[in-house]
Amino acid sequence: MRIKVINPNTTDSMTRKIGAAAQAAARPGTVAVAVNPARGPVSIESHYDEAVAAVGVLDEIRRGEAEGFDGHVIACFGDPGLLAAREIASGPVVGIAEAAMHLASFVATGFSVVTTLARTCVIAEHLAEQYGMARFCRNIRAIDLPVLDLDDPGSEASRLVAAECRRALERDRCGAIVLGCAGMADLAASLSAQLGVPVIEGVSAAVGVVETLVGLRLATSKHGDLAYPPAKLYRGDFHALAPTRLAS
């Protein structure tokens, strides 16, 4: 099985970290290939960043389809472009926020999300509502550091993440922690050992979900709103992104 793991930002070092986490979580025989778009934001920390990054995600999905990947993971906690990606993919596409929240609900009656900038908390809140996870999500907490600090060995990011996780367990009545950024993928195992609770990072979670769906021969339904988009002309710089497969 081959899974394409798409880091929607353009920071290579974060893509390598995400790829390492994905491959470590993969079952024997699964190859997880991590990529990022050539164009777009170096980190995703706003609605605007997400909107721009989604174009790069869709371009990578199109390439992944041509390259014969069995499934795709969108490795940003905002799950940018997820439904559009499902429209154009023949195999399953899973977002890391979606996967992490659902898996957390399997191992605890409530979870808290620990993310980076406070301004992005509302994005996670909206996703919890969209995915039917609001009743499980006790709180969404931020360490209020930029995403790229997670890639800086000299930053305080890992210490602040651990401290915020402890506060969540003390104050939020949660039994599990969801890490709200793909850049935290390397922290989950050590945090779970320190805290004594399940700490779920979405990259590993999403890889496992894709493997299960592919193994069960379940792909995104092409009946209804996730059918292939109708072929039509796209003008200007988006000409190459025009859907060419006829909708059923």
Please write the tens of the pLDDT for every residue from 90-126: 999 999 999 999 999 999 999 999 999 999 999 999 9
* Global confidence as pTM: 0.96
What value does the mean pLDDT take over residues 167-195? 97
- Judged against a pLDDT cut of 90, whether residue 240 lies above it is answered with no
Of 62, 59, 54, nearest in space to 82 by CA = 54
User: In this predicted structure, what is the pLDDT of residue 248?
Assistant: 44
CA 240 to chain centre: 25
| Phi, psi angle pair for 111, to nearest 5° | -135, 160
DSSP, res 4: E
Bridge partner list, 72: 4, 93
pLDDT at 246 over 90: no
Tens of pLDDT, residue by residue over 49-104, are: 999 999 999 999 999 999 999 999 999 999 999 999 999 999 999 999 999 999 99
Give the closest residue to 6 by CA, choosing from 47, 62, 51. Answer: 62
DSSP alpha helix (H) spans, the chain: 12-25, 47-67, 82-88, 96-107, 121-130, 157-171, 188-195, 202-215
Among candidate residues 65, 62, 5, the one with its CA nearest the CA of residue 35: 5
Q: What is the mean pLDDT of residues 26-38?
A: 98
Q: pLDDT by residue (tens digit) across 188-236?
A: 999 999 999 999 999 999 999 999 999 999 999 999 999 999 999 999 9
Per-residue 3-state assignment (H helix, E strand, C coil) for 162-179 = HHHHHHHHHHCCCCEEEE
Does residue 161 register a pLDDT over 90?
yes
Nearest to 144 by CA among 198, 180, 175: 180
Q: What are phi and psi of 177, to 5 degrees?
A: -120, 135
d(CA 111, CA 98): 13
Specify whether the CB–CB gap between 183 and 76 falls below 8 A.
no
Domains in the chain (CATH in brackets) are 2-95+205-241 (3.40.50.12500), 97-202 (3.40.50.12500)
The per-residue pLDDT for 237 is: 87
Q: Is the dihedral of CA 1, 18, 95, 158 positive or negative?
A: positive
Report the amino acid identity of residue 121: C
Mean pLDDT in residue range 151-174: 96
Cβ count near 117 (within 10 Å): 17
Q: What is the pLDDT of residue 153?
A: 87
pLDDT digits over 125-150, tens only? Answer: 999 999 999 999 999 999 999 999 99
What is the chain's mean pLDDT, rounded?
Answer: 96
